[in-house]
């Protein structure tokens, strides 16, 4: 099993196109860091703009605000929209790419069951997703910590701001990246399912992105009936729940409670829904693939 997984990883990581995603992430992270290094004050003013009516923020506060933790939060918010495309590039190619190259038929004449083959492919896509996310974490979190230093982290919410002590931030990022891994695995599972139907990887990649974009728009729409019925079940609604790790509880005096999470049950519910989607997509892929005639 391990040797077969190794083969799938070799196939992914020996392809030059795999590194496009790593390059794209490095470029985006670097550009955001560069922009905030030179014009961070404008961004902070913009960020606090809505609150200016009720609060007065001293310059020292604004300066402390722009630290590595906040920069990473900004990068994560921006990049987690692009990441599904980078994940779909590999997951959408996993079966359709093999069919397109003609290697699928040769692989399936080997003594490996179709279910086993598919699960290995999916596992390899998940490992790629985790490695990509780790790369992003290294650059966005540790890179920003190096460039901008660390301090208390301030997160803007519709109800106000949460200030998290510096010592209480790192584990939240660890949890957020773990959650993002599940969210992106959902996208990988969708691309994987679509890949089973195709003999050319462009179709599943474009279809995955189209679904993610349409569902994201649907997740952002506010219609009363729809808010209670359809929206809570869209996977895109739950993909952004990682932010919940940065929303904290406070005492009656408004002091942040270290180690607290404002709404942990909501995060766990989102996690369960995403796992449900992953299981459904993978199960459907296996079911279709086991019945499929390989004519490529």
Interacting residues with other proteins (CB under 8 A): 3-4, 6-7, 10-11, 14-16, 101-103, 105-113, 291, 293-295
Nearest to residue 47, comparing CAs of 134, 155, 131, 125? 155
What is the rounded CA–CA span in Å between residue 173 and residue 68?
A: 12
Q: To which residue do tokens 């003594």 refer? A: 111
What is the rounded CA–CA span in Å between residue 112 and residue 167?
A: 49
Least separation, in Å, of the C-beta of 278 and other proteins? 26
What is the rounded CA–CA span in Å between residue 273 and residue 278?
A: 9
Beta carbon nearer to other proteins, 117 or 242: 117
Beta carbon nearer to other proteins, 4 or 218: 4
Least separation, in Å, of the C-beta of 14 and other proteins? 6
Beta carbon nearer to other proteins, 112 or 138: 112
Beta carbon nearer to other proteins, 14 or 265: 14
Least separation, in Å, of the C-beta of 109 and other proteins? 4
Alpha-carbon dihedral 50, 52, 54, 55, rounded to 10 degrees: 130
Least separation, in Å, of the C-beta of 101 and other proteins? 6
User: On the CB side of 34, how many CA atoms lie within 13 Å of its CA?
Assistant: 6
What is the rounded CA–CA span in Å between residue 99 and residue 178?
A: 32
Q: Which residues 6+ apart lie within 8 Å of 177 measured at CB?
A: 133, 134, 137, 242
Beta carbon nearer to other proteins, 10 or 31: 10
Element (H, E) at 26: helix 18-48
Nearest to residue 186, comparing CAs of 78, 271, 291, 76? 271
Least separation, in Å, of the C-beta of 100 and other proteins? 9
- Residue 33 token pair: 């860091």
Least separation, in Å, of the C-beta of 195 and other proteins? 17
Least separation, in Å, of the C-beta of 245 and other proteins? 39
Instruction: Give the angle subtended at the CA of 222 by the CAs of 216 and 228, to the nearest 5°.
Output: 95
Handedness of CA 20, 21, 27, 28 (dihedral sign): positive
- Residue 242 token pair: 């990682």
Least separation, in Å, of the C-beta of 283 and other proteins? 20
Beta carbon nearer to other proteins, 16 or 53: 16
Beta carbon nearer to other proteins, 60 or 293: 293
Beta carbon nearer to other proteins, 28 or 127: 127
44-52, Cβ contacts within 8 angstroms, sequence gap of 24 or more: 47/156, 48/156, 50/156, 51/156, 51/160, 51/161
């Amino acid at each position: 099993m391990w040797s077969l997984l190794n083969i799938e990883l070799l196939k992914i990581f020996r392809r030059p196109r795999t590194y496009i995603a790593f390059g794209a992430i490095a470029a985006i992270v670097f550009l955001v860091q560069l922009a905030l290094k030179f014009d961070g004050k404008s961004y902070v003013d913009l960020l606090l703009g809505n609150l200016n009516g009720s609060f007065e923020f001293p310059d020292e506060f604004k300066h402390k605000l722009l630290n590595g933790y906040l920069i990473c939060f900004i990068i994560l918010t921006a990049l987690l929209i692009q990441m599904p495309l980078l994940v779909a590039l590999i997951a959408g190619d996993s079966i359709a790419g093999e069919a397109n190259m003609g290697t699928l038929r040769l692989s399936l004449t080997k003594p490996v069951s179709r279910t086993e083959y598919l699960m290995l492919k999916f596992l390899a896509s998940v490992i790629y997703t985790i490695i990509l996310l780790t790369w992003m974490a290294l650059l966005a979190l540790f890179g920003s910590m190096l460039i901008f230093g660390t301090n208390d982290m301030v997160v803007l919410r519709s109800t106000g701001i949460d200030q998290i002590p510096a010592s209480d931030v790192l584990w939240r990022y660890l949890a957020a990246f773990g959650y993002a891994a599940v969210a992106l695995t959902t996208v990988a599972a969708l691309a994987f399912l679509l890949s089973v139907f195709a003999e050319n990887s462009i179709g599943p990649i474009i279809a995955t992105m189209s679904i993610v974009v349409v569902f994201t728009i649907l997740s952002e729409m506010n219609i009363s009936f729809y808010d209670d019925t359809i929206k809570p079940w869209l996977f895109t609604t739950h993909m952004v729940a990682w932010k919940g790790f940065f929303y904290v509880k406070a005492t009656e005096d408004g002091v942040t409670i270290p180690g607290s999470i404002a709404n942990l049950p909501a995060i766990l519910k989102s996690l369960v829904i995403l796992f449900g989607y992953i299981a459904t997509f993978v199960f459907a892929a296996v079911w279709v693939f086991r019945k499929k005639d390989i004519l490529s």
